Structure 1
Amino acid sequence: MCDWTGKNVLFASGFSGIGFQMMHQLMQREKLKMLGIVHRMENVEMIKKLQAENPDVKVVFMQMNLMDKVSIEQTMKKMGQMMGNIDVLVNCEDVLLDKDVETTIGINLTAMIHVTMKAMPYMDKSQMGVGGVVMNMSSVYGLEPAPAFAVYAAAKHGVVGFTRSMGDMHIYQKTGVMFMTVCPGLTNTEMMMNLRDNVTWEHSEHLVEVIESAKRQMPEEAAVQVIKAMEMMKNGSMWIVDMGQLKEAMPQMHWQM
């Protein structure tokens, strides 16, 4: 099980949704050392609210453009140097804009890869780190097809593939860094608004109607389960978080060397 005592936790996340609810809940861990947030826009009021929840935990925000590799590199270097080492990295930036392929792939997948690789020197026990955990936010659409949101599904399948690959035992033995991915089901977040405007193509009306009428979990209850999955400390694992319940997703092997 994960011990949060003295840990530096870094979120690549906005100020809403599951990621922000995770921050709230982690701030209740009295022994946490530092909470870092990197995002394209600062929300001063939300940062103050987080800090007020636990004055003993230092909350730090740095602005970062997820569509700019140089911005990611510079920001992660500053954050890593400030923290000294990064114990936990949570990548939970999430956008659904299928008509904008570059942004959908860029934020959901490419940025996640860049952030992770730039954090690794401050996590890798063979470099400046002491090991740790990387939790990458995918989706149930990273496990199954999403005909209405094919681009989003492609990005989230990429998140699963990257995380499982980085969770290889050889990498863990060298770095001490565990990789895990969580796949939330339908969640009542801002991303669920205006679904009809964000489909891959126009032949999706019925598919969107089904999604809009389906039950959704609340971000707060999903966050509880994501943290629980992280605390399992199971390298290479995939977890489905749906309707406030946690279940491990077991991959099926189709090919092996």
Structure 2
Amino acid sequence: MVFDCNEKVALVTGGAAGIGLGYVKKLLSNGFKGVAILDIDESKGNQVAAELGPKVFFLKVDTTNKVKFRDAFVKTIEKFGGLDLVINHARICNESDFELMIDINAKSVVTGTLLAIEFMRKDKGGKGGFVVNTSSILGLSGASLVPVYYATKHFIIGFGKSMGTPVYYEKTGIKVMTIAPGLTDTRLPNNAKFNSGFNGLEERRPIVMEQFKLQPVDAVADCLLLALNVGNNGSVWVVENGQDPFEFKPERPTIT
């Protein structure tokens, strides 16, 4: 079934730059009537909203603040008259402040998903919808440079597959899916901060980077549209190295 983007409303965390902004632009160019961007970068957020026009609603929000995060959902619905899609994309990569990284990369994804369910669930008067959480191909493997970051990406995949089971969908009418991009041309790969307690990690950055082919942001945004159109509830979508996006299917099935 083809996903109809026309007159839909989305809320995107971490949407002021990089992949998050790519999502926003892709949704608008395909017919969304409104997108709320949640980001802590107020300057960049206001700039993006001014450039993209009245269909974009910027809110400066720290997603670790549950009260302000929830208020952003309320304001988005008041602004556009509904909500159809929530994308939890906000993330950082700073091994030296792993508590904050877990708060943003993992806990905030849970908060954003549960808020989406609260406001969109059919059994409470909503119309259902979609939640898409951004993980990474790093969530399908392991590596030495950023172990806690990798762990948060594993968490997102496990959480999404668990929430994307029939027991939830039958009540809520909300599909939960995960996108796992490969290395993408954003600020994150070069700005990732390693654990300062281990010498020699920084020297390994170029060695690791040579193993990947940077893909454009638009490739990940195209993967989002593909997932919305053909993705099953609980599915994980991989896009990397210039290849066509595909659904990742683990050997062990989800326990329902």
Q: TM-score, normalised by structure 1?
A: 0.89
User: Could you tell me whether the CA contact under 8 Å between 1:125 and 1:175 is conserved in 2?
Assistant: yes
CA distance in 1, matches of 2:255, 2:232: 22
Match of 1:249 in 2: 248
Give CA-to-partner distance per residue, 1:183-227, whole Å, 9 cap, x none. 0111111011144x4347335356423222232111122222222
Q: Does 1:35 align with 2:31?
A: no
Q: What letter matches 1:198 in structure 2?
A: F
Q: What letter matches 1:48 in structure 2?
A: A
CA distance in 2, matches of 1:255, 1:127: 26
Task: Report matched runs for 1:207-246 at 5 Å.
Answer: 207-213=204-210, 214-244=212-242, 245-246=244-245
CA distance in 2, matches of 1:23, 1:207: 33
Match of 1:112 in 2: 109
Task: Report matched runs for 1:57-136 at 5 Å.
Answer: 58-136=55-133
Q: TM-score, normalised by structure 2?
A: 0.89
Q: What letter matches 1:242 in structure 2?
A: E
User: CA RMSD of the aligned region, Å?
Assistant: 2.1
User: Could you tell me whether the CA contact under 8 Å between 2:161 and 2:177 is conserved in 1?
Assistant: yes
| Greater CA drift, 101-110 or 246-255 | 246-255
Match of 1:166 in 2: 163
Distance apart, 1:96 and its partner CA: 0.7
Q: Does 1:184 align with 2:186?
A: no
Give CA-to-partner distance per residue, 1:80-117, whole Å, 9 cap, x none. 34444321111111211111111211111111111221
Q: What letter matches 1:249 in structure 2?
A: F
CA distance in 2, matches of 1:227, 1:106: 28
CA distance in 2, matches of 1:78, 1:67: 18
What secondary structure does 1:189 align onto? Answer: coil
What secondary structure does 1:135 align onto? Answer: strand
| Structure 1 portions without partners, runs of 5+ | none
CA distance in 2, matches of 1:173, 1:194: 41
User: Could you tell me whether the CA contact under 8 Å between 2:183 and 2:240 is conserved in 1?
Assistant: yes
CA distance in 2, matches of 1:113, 1:83: 24
What secondary structure does 1:253 align onto? Answer: coil
Identity of aligned residues (%): 30
Distance apart, 1:73 and its partner CA: 2.4
Give CA-to-partner distance per residue, 1:2-39, whole Å, 9 cap, x none. 11122111111232111101211221123x22211112
User: Could you tell me whether the CA contact under 8 Å between 2:40 and 2:62 is conserved in 1?
Assistant: yes
In 2 relative to 1, CA 254–167 (structure 1 residues): closer, same or farther, beyond 3 Å?
Answer: closer
